[in-house]
């Protein structure tokens, strides 16, 4: 259980792990996540599922090495075992035939959007996907998203691939010239999801975003992952992670995400110092 069967690098600092866990694989649904603890002294990390294979009994996660814990996880090798993998957690994405659906993935949000887009496509929806990254070198899962999309648009901040600009630029163009859009889903940086929600607001298109607040126990007991949605307090771990993008208090979410930046920086510096020459 929890053995690493496959490891690959999708881009600089972005890793994919395939983990043996038949119990989670049997129950997992698109949009759900797991909490991973590498070893006894490690932090518990919530990571959205990129995929799951019920027959093989495996789950797949994709993560970016942005802090000490994800950097540590990135050092794991095929054949190693993760101490704890808890899940599936959170409410799955609503999968039904809505009509014309836009699926937006920014950065490492694209692997999280992939199983959702695939499930919606199988349900008979017309899928328009937009994926973006800072540059061509950081763009991931283009072919996978192309396979589950009727239309695929690519943007990069610096214009090294696809159209220069942001996913919201492509979204605006689609909404201006497109037939009726019935639903928009977005996963990525908070600032991106906020921008997407502002673009769709005038059109009154139902827009769902997957939130990534600070999370501890992931069972609704600690309250660390609280977010404000429609003026009410919600817990992302049990009420989400998906919420109506037009009702999210993004300013409060961004403020809470920055709470421990100083401590996170210090932890990363100590980790890098202790692993100097071994990475």
Q: What is the CATH number of domain 93-187?
A: 3.40.50.80
202-208 LR contacts (CB < 8 Å, sep 24+): 203/175, 205/175, 205/181, 206/182, 206/244, 207/183, 207/244, 207/245, 207/246, 208/93, 208/183, 208/184, 208/242, 208/243, 208/244, 208/245
Fold category of 4-89 in CATH: Elongation Factor Tu (Ef-tu); domain 3 (2.40.30)
Q: Please state, in angstroms and rounded to a whole number, the distance separating the CA atoms of residues 192 and 20.
A: 33
Q: Please state, in angstroms and rounded to a whole number, the distance separating the CA atoms of residues 51 and 108.
A: 14
Backbone angles phi, psi at 234, to 5 degrees: -125, 155
pLDDT in tens, the chain (279 residues): 999 999 999 999 999 999 999 999 999 999 999 999 998 888 888 998 999 999 999 999 999 988 888 888 899 999 999 999 998 999 999 999 999 999 999 999 999 999 999 999 999 999 999 999 999 999 999 999 999 999 999 999 999 999 999 999 999 999 998 779 999 999 999 999 999 999 999 999 999 999 988 888 788 888 888 999 999 999 998 999 999 999 999 999 988 877 766 767 777 777 677 766 555
Task: Give pTM, 2 decimals.
Answer: 0.90
| Domain residue extents for the chain | 4-89, 93-187
HEC assignment per residue over the chain: CCEEEEEEEEECCEEEEEEECHHHHHHCCCCCEEEEECCCCCCEEEEEEEEEECCCCEEEEEEECCCHHHHHHCCCCCCCECCEEEEEECCCCCCCCCCEEEEEEECCHHHHHHHHHHHHHHCCCEEEEEEEECCHHHCCCHHHHHHCCCEEEEEECCCCCCEECCHHHHHHHHHHHCCCCCEEEEECCHHHHHHHHHHHHHHCCCEEEECCCCCCCCCCCCCCCEEEECCEEEEHHHHCCEEECCCECHHHHHHHHCCCHHHHHHHHHHHHHHCCCCC
């Amino acid at each position: 259980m929890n053995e690493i069967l496959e490891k690959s690098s999708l881009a600089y600092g972005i890793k994919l792990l395939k983990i043996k866990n038949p119990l989670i694989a049997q129950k997992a649904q698109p949009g759900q996540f797991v909490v991973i603890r590498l070893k006894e002294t490690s932090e518990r990390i919530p990571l959205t599922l990129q995929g799951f294979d019920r027959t093989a009994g495996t789950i797949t996660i994709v993560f970016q090495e942005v802090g000490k814990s994800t950097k540590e996880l990135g050092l794991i090798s095929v054949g190693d075992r993760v101490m704890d993998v808890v899940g599936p957690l959170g409410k799955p994405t609503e999968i039904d035939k809505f009509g014309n659906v836009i699926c937006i993935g920014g950065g490492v949000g694209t692997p999280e959007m992939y199983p959702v887009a695939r499930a919606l496509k199988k349900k008979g929806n017309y899928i328009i996907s937009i994926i973006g990254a800072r540059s061509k070198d950081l763009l991931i899962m283009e072919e996978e998203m192309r396979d589950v999309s009727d239309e695929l648009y690519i943007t990069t901040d610096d214009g090294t691939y696809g159209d220069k600009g942001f996913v919201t630029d492509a979204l605006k163009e689609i909404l201006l010239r497109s037939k009726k859009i019935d639903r928009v889903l977005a996963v990525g940086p908070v600032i991106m999801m906020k921008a997407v929600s502002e673009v769709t607001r005038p059109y009154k298109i139902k827009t769902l975003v997957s939130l990534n607040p600070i999370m501890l126990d992931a069972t609704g007991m600690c309250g660390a992952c609280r977010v404000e949605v429609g003026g009410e307090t919600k817990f992302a771990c049990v009420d989400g992670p998906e919420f109506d993008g037009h009702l999210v208090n993004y300013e409060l979410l961004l403020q809470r995400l920055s709470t421990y930046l100083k401590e996170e920086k210090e932890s990363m510096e100590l980790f890098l110092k202790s692993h100097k020459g071994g990475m």
